[in-house]
Every structure is written in structure tokens, then in C-alpha cells.
Amino acid sequence: MRKDGRILWGMLTTSLVRNAEGGPQFLIGMIENITERKQAEEALILAKDYNRGLIEASIDPLATIDAEGRITDVNAATEKATGYARDELIGTDFSDYFTDPDRAQAGYRQTFVDGEVRDYPLEIRHRDGWMTPVLYNTAVYRDGRGRVAGIFAAARDITERKRAELALQESEEQFRALLDATPDATVLIDREGTILALNETMAARSGGSIEDLRGTCVYDLFPPDLAASRKKWADEAFSSARPIRMTDEYEGRIFDHILFPIKGANGQVRRLAVISSDVTERKQVERIRQEAYDRIEQNIEQFAILADHVHQPLQVILGTAALLDEGTATERIQKQVERINAIVKQLDRGWIESRKIREFLRRHEAA
């Protein structure tokens, strides 16, 4: 019925009145206004539909659990994650659907103690055997009297995050293996010189451990003058975004450095890889080799000059001996000249051998 344009709900109750002979005489009817009750029922239905819509709209598994740990409701995402239908799940133990039921129970009990649990790691086990890593967030809910009636649990699927973490871990392990594989001291720094990563060689050279040095400033490891010089080259590599090679000395050792800029996702240089080689022995070998080359060159020149110096006097001696009338003296002079010539030939051979050695060393160095 309507009143002032509003729809009113009523409940009709009738009673039959009979006459003296027991036959029906008339009906007595009474209408009860139940509009408020109908509105309350409709509001309750609407609220249930609204809550169901919210639950089903979530892509995360959601469930309500009673005080005994039994499932009272789930959404479609929970069905998908477990492989069981809603009717199969309701009334069963919440912890049975995890790879570690005891841990699930512990989180459930903790919710009653603290009123909630945040980012609780668990693994949902599908009926086909595969697992879904999740972070559970739970909170208690109360009945109309304010008493705790159960728990509302929401799970966030972190499969992709786990994969990303695993990929990052593998990448870090590969990076660590690469660092430790090189015999040179290697360090990764940011613009402020903070050590982000380093290998054992770098740690040993600095007199510390990897754990102690990570997070410290690399420039604090050197005297002020050397630190300022190396920072200047590092700043140049950061600003130019190009690899730089430089050499310096520290504590009597010679170091050859390669500064390699590393760009981030935005294309800006955020890190710098520094590879430092101790080239002291190599420099010493190069110096010794150069000294040997210089000595060989000097010997070659000396051999040539000495041979010329000997040849000229011999020609004079031979000419003078030919003018003498004394046969014995001339013969003796000629024999001595022959001996000297033999010595000169040895000098010539030494000069030739020196040239061969020089050319061999140069070819070997080039190879």
C-alpha cells in the first residue's frame, strides 16, 4: 500500500468468526505495519551483496575463519589458489591448505593475541601440488555484541616478487663471482665514493674485510693527496660517462687504474667500477728490458767503431811491413796482423749476433 507516495509494507492476519450453528459468519482482519522490518531486511541483503562484491572483486585470496580455525567464507581467488570449490573449503581447517600447517596455525593464533598480523609469509598448496608464495594479513572481526567472532585473512601473491628476488640474488652471485675471479683489485662506488661492492683482492690491499669496507668511503683509505687525485679522475669519469685509464703510485707500488662508468635505467651514470692492477713488477721488467735494449745498441755501436779503429792501423802496418827488406820481420808482422784480423772477425760476428738478439727481442715483445 502507499502513503504520501511512499510504499508501506504490511502483514495481514485474519481470523474467521462463526455463527451459533458453527458456520462462517465473517472475517476479522488486522494489518501490521512491517515497513521498517522489510527495509532492514533489504538493507541486510544489500550489505551482504555489497560485501560479497568487495570480496569477489579482489584478485587476492580472501577468507573468513571462525574462532576454531574453520573456514566460513572464501572468494574466487582462494578457489583458484587452492584448486577447491567454495563449498569444499567452507567448514574445513584453514591451516590444511598450506605447505607448513604449523606455521599457519601460529599466525592464526598470533592474530587473536595482537588483533592482527601483517605480511606473514606462507605458501598456499594447490590440490595439484604446486605452491603459491603469499604474504598474509589478518585481523579479527567482532559480532554485534563486540565479541571476537573470527578472523578475516587476505593473502598477497608474491610469486613475481620471489622470482625478481631470485633473479637479483643470482645476479648478485654472478657479480660476486666475477669480482672474485679477477686478480686485480675491483671496487664499485657511487658518486660520493661509497663502496657498494668489492672483491677480496681490494679488501686485502686495503687491510680490511669485505664486510667492514662495504658502505665506507673509498677515499678514506688513502692519504689526502692521493685521495684528492683519484677523486678528481673519478669525477671526470662520472661527468664524461667515458672510461678513463690512469696510473699513479702508492707506498712504493705502481698502479694502473681503469675507471668504467655504469649507467642506470635513466641513462645517468650512477656507479663507477674501478679496476686497479699492481703493475710494479711489470714496470720493473719494462725498465730492465729497455736497459738491455740500450746496452745492446751501445754494444753494436762499440763493435762497429772498434772494428773500424782496428782495420785502419792494420792497413798501415801491412803497408809498412811490405817496405822492409828484412824477410823475417815482415813475416812476423804479417802473422800478427792475421791474428788481429781473426779477432776483428770475432768482433764482427758479435756485432751481427747482437743485432739478431735485438731484433728477436723486439719481435717477441710485439707478439
206 and 250 part of one domain: yes
Task: Domain count for the chain, please give it.
Answer: 4
* 265 lies in the same domain as 189: yes
Asked whether residue 162 is domain-assigned, the answer is no
Look at residue 285 and tell me if it is in a domain: no
pLDDT tens, the chain, 367 aa long: 545 556 666 666 667 667 777 777 666 666 666 666 665 565 555 545 445 545 555 668 888 888 888 998 888 888 989 999 989 999 999 999 999 999 999 998 899 889 899 999 999 999 998 899 999 999 888 877 778 888 888 888 888 888 877 776 766 666 666 667 678 888 889 999 999 888 888 898 888 898 899 999 999 999 999 999 999 999 999 999 999 999 988 888 889 999 999 887 778 888 898 988 888 888 777 777 777 767 767 766 666 666 666 666 666 666 666 666 555 666 666 676 677 766 666 666 665 666 666 666 666 655 4
Task: Give yes or no for a contact between 138 and 111, defined as CB atoms under 8 angstroms apart.
Answer: yes
Same structural domain, 86 and 48: no
Query: Looking at the domain assignment, is residue 89 inside a domain?
Result: yes
Name the residue type at position 244: I
Burial class (CB in 10 A: 0-12, 13-18, 19+), 319: exposed
Closest CA to 354 of 306, 296, 288: 296
Distance from C-alpha of 353 to C-alpha of 350, rounded to nearest angstrom = 5
Strand partners, 137: 154
Residue numbers of the domain that contains 43 = 1-57
Same domain? 189 vs 263: yes
Domain membership of residue 63 (yes or no) is: yes
Residue type, 346: Q
In a domain, 197, yes or no: yes
Q: Smallest Cα–Cα separation from 353: which of 361, 341, 363, 364?
A: 361
Report the CATH number at residue 260: 3.30.450.20
Residues 64 and 40 grouped into a single domain:
no
Report yes or no on 266 lying in a domain. yes
Contact predicate 123/99, CB 8 Å:
yes
